[in-house]
Structures are given as C-alpha cells and as structure tokens.
C-alpha cells in the first residue's frame, strides 16, 4: 500500500490526502514532522534530504517528495488521463501554472500569516511582517478572484489547481484577519466545501 509520511496538520500533506480521497487511492499515513519529529532520522533523510513533509513511499521502495510533484505522480500512476490533471498541453498548462504559482507566490505570504498568527505566541509576533504578508496575500487572492470570473473552478473543470490552493484558501478565510471582500473567491470556497468532502475532511478543519 502507498505510504504517506507527514502530519495531517501540514498544508502540503493536506493536498495529497485530498487527492487520495478524490481518486479513492488507498494509503497508510504515518505521523512525522512537527511535534512528531523523525524527519532528521537517517531512514527519513534517505527518502527526503529536505527533512520536510510530505514524502510518499511505494511498496517497491520508490519515494518522492515535493507535494505538487506527488500529486502529478499519483494521477499518472493511479488515474492516468483523469481530467483532474488534463493531458492536452494548453489545458495542462492552465492547471500547472497555478501549481507553480502556489509554490512560488502564494506560499511565502500565506506561510508568514499562518505561522505568525497561529504557531507564534502573541508577544513574539512580528506584526510588521504579518501586515506586509496580509497586504501581499490580499493582492494574490485578488488575482484568483478575478480568474474565477464566470468559472466554477480555477482552471477549467475541477483540477489539481483547486487542490493545491485549497488548504491556503481555508486558512485565508479562517485566520483572524481583515480581508478585502472577494465575492467570487468566497463563493468558490463555499463550493469546495459543499461539493468536495475530501476538502472538508482534510483541509478545512480547525487551524493547528
Ligand atoms: N515545497 C515543499 C514544502 C514542504 C514543507 O515545507 N513542509 C512543511 C509542512 S507544510 C514541513 O515539513 N515543515 C516541517 C515539519 O513539519 O517538521 C512541498 O510542497 O512539499
């Protein structure tokens, strides 16, 4: 059976768990990272030299890290041709650019906001950095809001683009911050909750 190494509170692990639910992929998840540690032990470093989660491990010993690469790999091996990761080059490009955008643009300010406001004691918070991240993230979510004009999903039909943005979308709406009104973004968030039980189970819980 597929092994998923990583604590369920990690946004990058959440993406993988949600995809497994969408595609009915059986797996065993093992808690590592954060309070569970173990990611600096030799057996883990041999699979993932970054000491980060998630890492997946196949029965034949093959292992893979980088959550978005894991998503592509799981579709290719478990559901090749599934529209969740389109094969036509332009449709695939439309999905993959949001996957890269999530890692390159959205992740840094959302990481600062989430870690700053949940895992850092109030007295130790860098309020200036949090304010800058909030402004930056608001601009980025504004781009997604505009992209959603006349659409139910970020890129064509439901796809990996929705999955990689989902955990951060939930945090955006769950964090105690002053958000600009972005009606299409909020409607998409509500749609994901109503139509994707895997999103609710794995990505839209209490912030921890
Ligand atoms: N780009 C990597 C980032 C992985 C990453 O930074 N994971 C975080 C959790 S979201 C982590 O491992 N933090 C340390 C830990 O949990 O011990 C990916 O997408 O998989």
Q: pLDDT digit string (tens) for 135-161?
A: 999 999 999 999 999 999 999 899 999
Do 110 and 186 fall into the same domain? Answer: yes
Last residue of a domain, one of 78, 111, 135: 78
% of the chain at pLDDT higher than 90? 99
pLDDT tier at 121, thresholds 50, 70, 90: very high
Ligand 1 pocket mutation pick from 10, 18, 160 by most atoms within 8 angstroms of CB: 10
Q: How far is the CA of 183 from the centre of ligand 1 (A)?
A: 30
Of the CA atoms within 13 Å of residue 158, those in its CB half-sphere come to 14
Residue 208 lies in a domain: no
Q: How far is the CA of 206 from the centre of ligand 1 (A)?
A: 19
Where helices occur in the chain by DSSP H, the ranges are: 11-22, 42-47, 67-78, 89-101, 107-114, 127-147, 160-174, 183-195, 197-203
Question: In sequence order, what DSSP letters do the residues of 65-82 get, joined into one string?
Answer: ESHHHHHHHHHHHHSTT-
Q: How far apart are the first and last CA of the chain?
A: 28
- Using alpha carbons, select from 83, 119, 103 the residue that is nearest to residue 168: 103
- Tell if the pTM clears 0.85, that is, is over it: yes
Q: How far is the CA of 12 from the centre of ligand 1 (A)?
A: 6
Total count of domains within the chain = 2
Lookup: tokens for 113: 């906001």
Q: What is the pLDDT of residues 42-70, one digit of tens each?
A: 999 999 999 999 999 999 999 999 999 99
Give the number of the atom of ligand 1 that is nearest the alpha carbon of residue 53. Answer: 12
Lookup: tokens for 115: 């870690």
Do 101 and 192 fall into the same domain? Answer: yes
CA separation for the pair 47, 55 (Å, rounded): 7
pLDDT over 90 (residue 12): yes
Looking at residue 156, what is its pLDDT?
85
Query: What is the rounded average pLDDT of the residues 127-137?
Result: 97
Do 33 and 102 fall into the same domain? Answer: no
Do 71 and 99 fall into the same domain? Answer: no
- Using alpha carbons, select from 15, 5, 13, 8 the residue that is nearest to residue 199: 15
Last residue of a domain, one of 29, 55, 78: 78
Q: What are the residues whose beta carbons fall under 8 Å from the beta carbon of 108, sequence distance 6 or more?
A: 133, 136
Last residue of a domain, one of 78, 103, 122: 78
Nearest residue (by CA) to ligand 1, atom 6, is 52
Asked if 29 contacts 85 with a C-beta cutoff of 8 angstroms, the reply is: no
- CB-defined site of ligand 1, < 6 Å: 10-12, 33-34, 39, 52-54, 66-68, 103
Nearest residue (by CA) to ligand 1, atom 13, is 52
Asked if 13 contacts 67 with a C-beta cutoff of 8 angstroms, the reply is: yes
Q: How far is the CA of 95 from the centre of ligand 1 (A)?
A: 22
Looking at residue 208, what is its pLDDT?
85
pLDDT tier at 92, thresholds 50, 70, 90: very high
Residue 129 lies in a domain: yes
Domain extent, residue 61, equals 2-78
Ligand 1 pocket mutation pick from 11, 48, 53 by most atoms within 8 angstroms of CB: 53
């Amino acid at each position: 059976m597929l092994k998923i190494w990583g604590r369920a509170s990690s946004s990058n692990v959440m993406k993988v768990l949600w995809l497994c639910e969408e595609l009915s992929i059986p797996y065993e998840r093992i808690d590592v990272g954060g309070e569970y540690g173990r990611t600096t032990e030799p057996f883990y470093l041999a699979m993932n030299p970054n000491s980060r989660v998630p890492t997946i491990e196949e029965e034949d010993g093959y292992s893979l890290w980088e959550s978005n690469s894991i998503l592509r790999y799981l579709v290719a091996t478990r559901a090749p041709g599934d529209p969740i990761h389109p094969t036509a080059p332009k449709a695939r490009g439309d999905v993959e650019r949001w996957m890269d955008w999530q890692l390159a643009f959205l992740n840094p300010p959302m990481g600062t906001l989430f870690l700053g406001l949940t895992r850092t004691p109030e007295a130790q918070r860098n309020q200036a950095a949090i304010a800058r991240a909030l402004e930056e993230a608001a601009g980025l979510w504004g781009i997604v809001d505009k992209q959603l004009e006349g659409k139910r999903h970020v890129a064509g039909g439901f796809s990996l683009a929705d999955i990689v943005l989902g955990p951060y979308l939930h945090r955006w709406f769950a964090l105690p911050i002053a958000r600009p009104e972005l009606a299409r973004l909020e409607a998409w968030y509500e749609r994901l909750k109503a139509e994707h039980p895997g999103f609710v189970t794995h990505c839209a819980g209490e912030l921890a």
